[in-house]
Amino acid sequence: MDMPTIRLLYASVARPELRYDDLTAILRSADTHNSAAGITGILCYGGGRFLQALEGERRAVNVAYRRIIVDPRHSGCELIACDEITRRDFPDWTMKLIGWDDVPTAERRALLLQHTGSAVFDPFRFSGAQATQFLAALGRMERAEAA
Ligand code: FAD
């Protein structure tokens, strides 16, 4: 049997002194490892919180997640959703970073409100379905803006 493909979502608290350089270092290492492991996803950062989706073969996603949760650049990783999927939401991104603090556009705010019922980006309060739908919609919006 083929290894199932899954999508795993977790929330975490960024280390308080996290800087922009740390985010670029995280992305560099994510790009390297994820492209080798066939993992795609999105990483949303705002208000000192992370919300990340990792998509890929179940074993590869577990290996990445085990590495990520012990990273001292964040803490308190909380699993929000883990589903078997037949289609990826972020097939074109080894890891797309969305800075929620940088560009609080009206469109992004509306999207957050629509999918989570909250105007504040606090992923620990999202249900699995809310977080999944919010990130998928955010991905679609980013792709449309870039086109
Ligand atoms: P390096 O990147 O060289 O790191 C070696 C070790 O040092 C690791 O244990 C790392 O945690 C630690 N480290 C590195 N820089 C710092 C620093 N500035 N301060 C403190 N400790 C540091 N990795 C992925 O492969 N895919 C992902 O999608 C992914 N997403 C991430 C999302 C978040 C929110 C965070 C915080 C990390 C993420 N990472 C991701 C990074 C992951 O946690 C590991 O650091 C990385 O996979 C290890 O890469 P490496 O073996 O090349 O070691």
**Residue 42's closest CA among 90, 83, 106?**
90
Q: Which string of DSSP letters, residue by residue, matches 12-55? A: EEE-TT--HHHHHHHHHHHHHHHHHHT-EEEEEEETTEEEEEEE
Residue 2: per-residue pLDDT: 80
- Cβ–ligand 1 contact at 36 (below 6 Å): no
Per-residue pLDDT of the chain (147 residues; tens, 9 = 90+): 688 999 999 999 999 999 989 999 999 999 999 999 999 999 999 999 999 999 999 999 999 999 999 999 999 999 999 999 999 999 999 999 998 886 568 888 899 999 999 988 999 999 999 999 999 999 999 898 887
In the DSSP assignment, the letter for residue 3 is: P
Residue 3: per-residue pLDDT: 85
Residue 104: per-residue pLDDT: 63
Q: Are 15 and 74 in contact (CB under 8 A)?
A: yes
Ligand 1 geometric centre to CA of 1 (Å): 32
How far apart, in whole angstroms, are the C-alpha atoms of residue 90 and residue 139? 7
Residue 109: per-residue pLDDT: 87
- Cβ–ligand 1 contact at 29 (below 6 Å): yes
- Cβ–ligand 1 contact at 67 (below 6 Å): yes
What is the model's pTM? 0.93
- Residue in 34, 73, 96, 97 to alter for ligand 1 test, most ligand atoms within 8 A of Cβ: 73
Residue 103: per-residue pLDDT: 58
Q: Per-residue b/e over 69-92, b at no fewer than 16 CB within 10 Å?
A: eeeeebeebeebbbeeeeebbbee
Q: Whose CA is nearest to atom 6 of ligand 1?
A: 71
Q: Are 37 and 60 in contact (CB under 8 A)?
A: yes
Q: Whose CA is nearest to atom 1 of ligand 1?
A: 29
